[in-house]
Amino acid sequence: MFLHVTELSARYGRIPVLNGIELQVAAGEFVGVLGHNGMGKTTLLRTLMGFVPAQRGRIAFDDVDVTREPPYARARRGLGYVPQGREIFPGLSVRDNLRMGFAGRGVDERIDAILETFPRLTPLLNRRGGALSGGEQQLLAIARCLAGQPKMILFDEPTEGIQPSIIEELVVVLRQLHQRQGLTILLVEQNLEFIAELAQRVLLIQKGTILRELRPKELRQADVLNEFVGVGTDAG
């Protein structure tokens, strides 16, 4: 398994957030994690990246135990992260945001290659990151992550606060990253349409525990939605 999480527990202060998470993602797989607010989705990704320390359990990435490694060491192993809220460097230009993700020679060639996937960013290269719209920032956050050539990317609610036209663009981009570039992806979302469109399998998280695994088409069944997600059938 490319990402193998065993009995992972984490807490904020004395409040437990993750309770014995079991999670496996194979190389080249696209896995979605679905759940309500406050169920531990973001904390799961932040713990996988090393921003929240694991109280218990083990995180193995690419057959290496990274449980005690700092975030930058995990990133250097090829674990990419596109956080909730994008976290663009607002004072840096779009070009410099992209350069932050890459530490080697040939940075301009790398940026040119990335811009082929994100042509919308090309005319914005010299604009400050903080001056972009939410959708443009989301594209930049993904492009910046790709600049580091990750083996796997953790996406935290990329559709949050994004206009529908950009969400459609995100579907195309993420599918392309998965199918053409063979990237392994773990996507945390609340947008049922989006996750059903992209993920090969979906994990339902509740109170910090993986409750059940579903096929994407099951997400469209009314009884499943009502039982596990608690929303209506209009999700498609």
Partner 1 sequence: MLISVGLAIVFGMMRVINLAHGEFLMLGGYAAIVATNHGVNIWIAMLLVAPIVVGIIGVIAERLIIRVLYGRMIDTLLATWGLSLFFIGLVTTIFGNTVNGIGAPLGGIAVGRYSISLYRLVLVGIAAAILVAIYVVLRTTRLGLLARGTMENPNMAAALGVSPPRVYAATFGVGAALTGLAGGLLAPISGVLPTVGAAYVAKAFITVISGGTAIMAGTASAASLFGTVNQLLTYLTTPVIGEAGLLAAAILLLRVLPHGITGKLFRGSL
Q: Which residue has the tokens 């109170």?
A: 207
| Amino acid of residue 22 | E
CA distance 10 to 178: 29
Nearer to partner 1, 111 or 229 (CB): 111
Nearest distance from residue 185's CB to partner 1, in Å? 16
Nearest distance from residue 149's CB to partner 1, in Å? 10
| Amino acid of residue 173 | V
CA distance 10 to 26: 23
CA distance 236 to 74: 37
- Show Cβ contacts of residue 210 under 8 Å, excluding neighbours closer than 6 positions: 21, 22, 23, 203, 204
Nearest distance from residue 176's CB to partner 1, in Å? 21
Nearest distance from residue 83's CB to partner 1, in Å? 7
| Amino acid of residue 99 | R
Nearer to partner 1, 87 or 193 (CB): 87
Nearer to partner 1, 51 or 120 (CB): 51
CA distance 136 to 118: 10
Nearest distance from residue 96's CB to partner 1, in Å? 6
Nearer to partner 1, 74 or 228 (CB): 74
Residues forming contacts to partner 1 in the complex (CB under 8 A) are 49, 51, 70-72, 75-76, 80-81, 83, 87, 89-92, 96-97, 99-101, 103, 128, 144-145, 148
Nearer to partner 1, 23 or 154 (CB): 154
